[in-house]
Every structure is written in structure tokens, then in C-alpha cells.
A and B are shown apart, each in its own frame.
Chain A
């Protein structure tokens, strides 16, 4: 079991560029979430999914899109990157069998210039 994997580990973008942060889990979890972590602000929920084909917005969804075409994958898309999106992004998954435990990936560090 690889758990939750995220790629890339680190990315530098220029303002206005687009990119997709990848997230995959091999635990057959129904639920997946994206968080961003900024200094002094903890983790904030961007988007989440309760199953394939179902997504919804979290606390800070503006500037991000998600889709969930399979149970395993939950990519996060930045359509037009802004410096305010410089952050560390974490993907998490959980399932009915994980007793509320969220399993986090190792994170993607994004720098937008």
C-alpha cells in the first residue's frame, strides 16, 4: 500500500500559468480532500469529494478546479496561477472503514512568481 501519493513534490510557476496537482490513493477510500497550508493559518479546505463524480467546495475554492472521474484519483487544477496561491498543498483520503481518520499525502510545495 502506497497510501496517498502526490506529484510533483515541488513546482515553480509564473503568474498566469496553469497546472494540475496530482493525487492518488490505493486504499479504495470514498472521500478525498484538498487542503492548502500557509504559515500561521493551519490547513484550509479547498475542495472535497465524497465519491466518483461528486465534488464540492470547501473554505477557499476560488482559483481551483477539481474532478473525480475515478475512486483513486483527485487532481487539483490551477487555471491561472497567482502569487497568492503560493502554498503547500495536501491531499487527504478517508473511507467508511477508516473511522474518520484522514490519511494525508506528503504534500506539493508550489511557488508562484
Chain B
């Protein structure tokens, strides 16, 4: 089955700097890769996703890149702000079956004011 590995487990950056979180997946059949943000005491919330027919996707300060050959994808947050502090999860699944997400282990991001 699918296995998703995520690094780093914790990341501390200065406000205004960029943050990068990386994930690798094992199943070449996976073609949908979402990123979820989880704030303390809340459920995860989708922030951006990418499908395997696209190499990069941006949404304001957030971008995701995908390398299908190497089976890895990354989340990039630019101009970080204190409210970006949270736990971020990558995940993988097959399009049309996102109710069966396989998650990475999470990255705790701390943005220092």
C-alpha cells in the first residue's frame, strides 16, 4: 500500500522567511496530493492540493511542487507570518478516492515574531 514520509518533523523560522516541507510517496498510482493545516485543538483544513498532471500550483503565499519521477512533493510558504504557525500534513490518494487519504507524519511549523 501507499506510504508517505514527511520531513522535517519540526521547523522554526523567523517571520518573513520562507518555509519548505517535503514529502515522498511510494505508490506510483497516487495522483492527488493535498496539504492540510491543523491549528491547536482543531481538525485539519485543506490549504492547497495538486494533481499529478501539474508540476506546480500557487495560491498567494503558498505553493506546492510535484516531481512524479522522484515521487516527491513539497509545500513552500513565503513571507511567513505568526498565524502560519501550526502543524502541516501532506497526504496522497487517487483522484476520486480522497476519502482514503494516506497522511504523512506532520510538520510542526513555528514562526518566530
Q: Which residues of A contact B (CB under 8 A)?
A: 4, 31-33, 35, 40-45, 48-50, 58-59, 90, 92, 94, 100-102, 104-107
Task: Please classify how large the interface on chain B is, using the bins under 10, 10 to 19, 20 to 34, 35 or more.
Answer: 20 to 34
List residues of chain A with CB within 8 A of the CB of B99.
Answer: 31-33, 48-50, 92, 94, 102
Write the nearest CB–CB distance from B2 to chain A, whole angstroms: 9
| A105 engages B43 (CB within 8 Å) | yes
Q: Which residues of B contact A (CB under 8 A)?
A: 1, 4, 6, 9, 32, 34, 36, 41-46, 49, 89, 95-96, 98-106
| B89 engages A100 (CB within 8 Å) | no
List residues of chain A with CB within 8 A of the CB of B32.
Answer: 100
Interface core residue of B4, B43, B44, B49 (most chain A CB under 10 Å): B43
5 interchain pairs (CB within 8 A)?
A: A49-B99, A94-B98, A101-B34, A102-B36, A104-B44
Contacts known (A105-B43, A106-B42); A42 close to B104, Cβ less than 8 A: yes
List residues of chain B with CB within 8 A of the CB of A40.
Answer: 9, 105-106
List residues of chain A with CB within 8 A of the CB of B45.
Answer: 104
Complex formed: what's the CA distance from A40 to B32 in Å? 23
Complex formed: what's the CA distance from A106 to B38 in Å? 10
List residues of chain A with CB within 8 A of the CB of B34.
Answer: 100-102
Write the nearest CB–CB distance from B75 to chain A, whole angstroms: 14
Contacts known (A100-B32, A100-B49, A100-B95); A43 close to B44, Cβ less than 8 A: yes
List residues of chain B with CB within 8 A of the CB of A45.
Answer: 100-102
